[in-house]
Structure 1
Amino acid sequence: MNLTAGGQAGLPLPSRMGRLAPPPVRLQALPLRAMPNWSDAFLADPAEGDIFASRLWYDTTLAHALPQGCVGALALVGEGAALLPLLRGPSGLSALATPYTLDWRPLLGSGDAAEAAGRGLGVWLRHRAPLRLEAMDPEMPGLPSLMRGVAEAGISVQRYRHFGNWHEGLAVDAGWEGYLAGRAPELRNTIRRKLRHAAREFRFELVEAPGTELREGIAAYEAVRAASWKPSEPFPNFDAALMQAAARCGALRLGVLRNAEGHPIAAQYWLVSGGRAWLLKLCHAEAQRGASPGTALTAMMIHRLIEHDRVRALDLGRGDDAYKQLWVSQRRQRVGFVLAHAWHPAGLAAVARHRLAGWMGRGA
């Protein structure tokens, strides 16, 4: 990303905005923990492949995953140039993103408004504490223009690496067998062996719709989660709330594997939208690890997603866990940005740290 006027490297330079007045920014707190109705003009339809910019996602996050001492806020740039869902807390403003967020982005208006929106945001950030944005796709349309506008307003734009994301696009009509053919021979043989064992010993349940089965499925997921190796959830009510909200709009795929006694031993849930499938969480009971119920369940879920839902892409979420590159083949980097004005004490410290990191070769 080629930034000008106070970009990634140092102190802000004089603005190059010319005589065009930048659009103003209005900040609105969200004490009711829900997106206001007027924000629907910016939010995505969860059925069209952009769940993480939808009301479904943000309302669930606001209601069930806000860090202690934080409140949601919306920064509206101009009369529709951009909307930034944010968190306001003790350390200042940041993106409305949590450990569950796979993709956050500014909600832009028309494509040619991105640079003007950036200038407006940059002017608003003058003499303010730094703004941290994270979980962003560096290939997001409009992002270079937005950040160029911020930099032109005299703000230092500091990019950093946030987390890795493993994913894979699927060949049209390749089906399950085509997908398997793309796996390593060792995994392919393991999958077939574990599926044969699971067909004899386990019972597979798939839940997609609201109702009694969903309540039972969530209870099974939570029982497996408690019996797994994973640490406690930072927001214990979020997963259940997200599953319920996703089921209401047809986006949920919750899989549960039970043993012969009916006890759940593995569980995971995916979100499906616009031909894409995202794995949000998976777990298995640690006491059942020898039977590899997690491997069997993942194979069952991907088989279902490919053959029934006809998804064209699989996304395994946040992080570089070793198992992910067995199931999908491509990695991309999610990034963050610190937008800092050196005329604010915290901004000056952020700029100094960034310059020091650059001198030491620790760039994004």
Structure 2
Amino acid sequence: MSVEVKIFDQLADVAEDAGDALSRGQQPILYDRMRWFEMTQKHCGNGRTPLVVRAMQGDSAAWMFLCRTGKRSAEALTSWYTLAFDIVRRGEDRGLIEAIAGDLGDLARISLAPMASPARIVEGFTAAGWKAFVEGSTQNWQLRVPDSFDAYWAARPGKLRSTVKRKAKKANLEIRIHRAFDEDAWADYQAIYAESWKPEEGSWDFMRDFVTEEGEAGSLRLGIAYQEGRPVAAQLWHVENGHATIHKLAYAESAKSHSPGSILGEAMFRHVIEEDRPATIDYGTGNEPYKADWMDAPRPLYRIELFNPRQPAAWAPLLKRKLSALVRRSATD
């Protein structure tokens, strides 16, 4: 059976072509859904033109969501909010990735990140004549959730448990955990963020859309800690299909001595483990030292750089990559 491949430069056309194949009901991973790509393009697209390739064979289909960065270059259609990128699939993708690579022959270079499992894309593009280079991009700390919160908490470092117990008595925080969008809670979240060490939010419009829609779907967990009525710490989680992700956290610098972030963290883990009972929890991307206190271990996330040797524009960067690989290999010999 032949593979049908189609290329799109408008997300509305992708959505119409896909039907419900890229909906929440069909795609269990948040970052694989049509709506996620639509919000990314709308709020974080920076004027980039989408480049989406769909390959279909029988009931199986695969989509690669890219955006153009130049006449002969493209990258994953992601933003700083995208914690995982991959080919989006329906059914088996055998042969479909190679077909996608074959129809991207006018490109010289493609960059994809962050990826947990690059092997299948590398295999498919290599089969189509592309050259692939895989390198570490960042890390994703994860936790295999035990049977109870008590078991989880007992396994945390003693210093963390002691700090939370000691500071909680003095801080006297009121903690509210919201499972739906709430205007007052959202205003408090923004106030905390403004008082925190965090850089300016990339797109408040994206975040509001995300929180609103995930609240409607029942997957939002927004925790706010108050001290004498003043919001001092916040955590934004997403819980769905047996998995929880900690997307955002912040605390007011003025309340730092009370460790409101740690106190709220303990409450959030207790709530999610006891109420939602996910199999796994992850701490987004990044290798900040504090994550080791709350998680089991990190897993690597990768960047794939793909070069098409049939395009002259790929020759110089491809040669540079090959020379760099030789230098690194010589240094370790």
Task: Give TM-score scaled by structure 1 length.
Answer: 0.83
Q: Does 1:225 align with 2:193?
A: yes
Name the CA shift for 1:53/1:268 in 2 (closer, same or farther; >3 Å).
same
Q: Does 1:354 align with 2:325?
A: no
* Unpaired stretches in structure 1, ≥5 consecutive residues: 1-19
Counterpart-to-counterpart distance in 1, 2:44 and 2:194: 19
Counterpart-to-counterpart distance in 2, 1:178 and 1:248: 31
Aligned to 1:273: 240
Counterpart-to-counterpart distance in 2, 1:206 and 1:227: 20
Identity of aligned residues (%): 26
Counterpart secondary structure, 2:82: coil
Aligned to 1:160: 135
How far is 1:277 from its partner? 0.8
How far is 1:197 from its partner? 3.5
Aligned to 1:203: 174
Q: How does 1:189-200 map to 2 (within 5 A)?
A: 189-198=162-171
Counterpart-to-counterpart distance in 2, 1:161 and 1:42: 31
How far is 1:273 from its partner? 0.4
How far is 1:126 from its partner? 2.9
Task: Give TM-score scaled by structure 2 length.
Answer: 0.90
Q: 1:235 aligns with which of 179, 203, 218?
A: 203
Aligned to 2:184: 216
Q: How does 1:1-364 map to 2 (within 5 A)?
A: 23=3, 25-30=5-10, 36-43=15-22, 45=24, 49-66=28-45, 68-79=46-57, 80-90=60-70, 92-111=73-92, 113-114=93-94, 116-138=95-117, 144-171=119-146, 173=147, 175-198=148-171, 201-210=172-181, 214-260=182-228, 262-361=229-328
Name the CA shift for 1:256/1:40 in 2 (closer, same or farther; >3 Å).
farther
Check conservation: 2:174, 2:225, Cα contact below 8 A: yes
Aligned to 1:17: none
How far is 1:165 from its partner? 0.5
Counterpart-to-counterpart distance in 2, 1:145 and 1:306: 33
How far is 1:350 from its partner? 2.8
1:331 counterpart letter in structure 2: P
How far is 1:191 from its partner? 2.2
Question: After superposition, what is the alpha-carbon deviation per residue over 1:11-63, rounded to whole angstroms, capped at 9, x for unaligned?
Answer: xxxxxxxxx97x4532212266x961433454263697522212342333233
Check conservation: 1:258, 1:266, Cα contact below 8 A: yes
Counterpart-to-counterpart distance in 2, 1:227 and 1:145: 43
Check conservation: 1:44, 1:50, Cα contact below 8 A: no
Counterpart-to-counterpart distance in 1, 2:21 and 2:126: 24
Counterpart-to-counterpart distance in 2, 1:117 and 1:96: 19
Check conservation: 2:235, 2:250, Cα contact below 8 A: yes
Name the CA shift for 1:125/1:49 in 2 (closer, same or farther; >3 Å).
closer
Aligned to 1:13: none
Counterpart secondary structure, 2:111: strand
2:293 counterpart letter in structure 1: L
Counterpart-to-counterpart distance in 2, 1:228 and 1:46: 36
